[in-house]
Amino acid sequence: MQVPEQDTVPESAARWVGEFLRRRQEQIAQRWADAELFRTVFTVSRDEAVEACKAVLDALSAVAAHGALENVAAPGFGPVRDQLGRMAGSRSRAGAGPARVADEVAALRGPATALLRGEFEDPSSEQAHECVLALTVLMGTLRLVVMETALGEGEQLIERQRQQLLEVATPVINLWHGIVAVPLIGTLDSARSQVVMENLLDAIVTQQARYAILDITGVPTVDSLVAQHLMKTVAAARLMGAECIVSGIRPAIAQTIVHLGIDLGTIPTRNSLADALAHVLRQQGIAVSAGAPVGAVPR
Q: Which is nearer to other proteins, 12 or 163 (CB)?
A: 163
The secondary element (H helix, E strand) that includes residue 228 is: helix 224-240
Query: Which listed residue (70, 155, 202, 263) binds other proteins by CB under 8 A?
Result: 202
What is the x/- site pattern for other proteins, positions 161-190, by CB under 8 A?
Answer: --x--xx----x-x---x------------
Residues between 3 and 42 that touch other proteins (CB under 8 A): none
Which of 75, 65, 70 has its CA nearest to residue 12?
65
Q: Which is nearer to other proteins, 106 or 195 (CB)?
A: 195
**DSSP notation for 56-90:** HHHHHHHHHHTT-TT-TT-GGGHHHHHHHHHHHHH
Q: Which is nearer to other proteins, 16 or 211 (CB)?
A: 211
Contacts of residues 61-65 at CB distance under 8 Å and 24 or more positions apart, as own/partner, are 61/18, 61/19, 61/21, 61/22, 61/25, 62/18, 63/18, 63/138, 63/141, 64/14, 64/15, 64/17, 64/18, 64/21, 64/134, 64/138, 65/14, 65/15, 65/18, 65/19
Q: Would you call 32 helix, strand, or coil by DSSP?
A: helix
Return the DSSP state at 286. -
Least distance in Å: CB of 166 to other proteins?
A: 5
Residues between 228 and 257 that touch other proteins (CB under 8 A): 232, 235-243
Q: Which is nearer to other proteins, 102 or 195 (CB)?
A: 195
Residues between 266 and 285 that touch other proteins (CB under 8 A): 266, 268, 283-285
Number of residues interacting with other proteins: please give it, by CB under 8 A.
37
Specify the stretch interacting with other proteins by CB under 8 A; choose among 125-133, 200-208, 254-262, 290-298.
Answer: 200-208
Q: How far apart are CA 23 and CA 16, in angstroms?
A: 10
| Beta pairing class for 243-247 and 211-218 | parallel
Q: Which is nearer to other proteins, 77 or 211 (CB)?
A: 211
Least distance in Å: CB of 279 to other proteins?
A: 13
Least distance in Å: CB of 149 to other proteins?
A: 17
Q: How far apart are CA 172 and CA 196, in angstroms?
A: 8
Least distance in Å: CB of 112 to other proteins?
A: 36
Least distance in Å: CB of 201 to other proteins?
A: 4
Least distance in Å: CB of 198 to other proteins?
A: 6
CB 130 within 8 A of CB 64: no
Least distance in Å: CB of 36 to other proteins?
A: 34
Residue 280, phi then psi, degrees to nearest 5? -65, -40
Residues in contact with other proteins by CB under 8 A are 163, 166-167, 172, 174, 178, 191, 194-195, 197-199, 201-210, 232, 235-243, 266, 268, 283-285
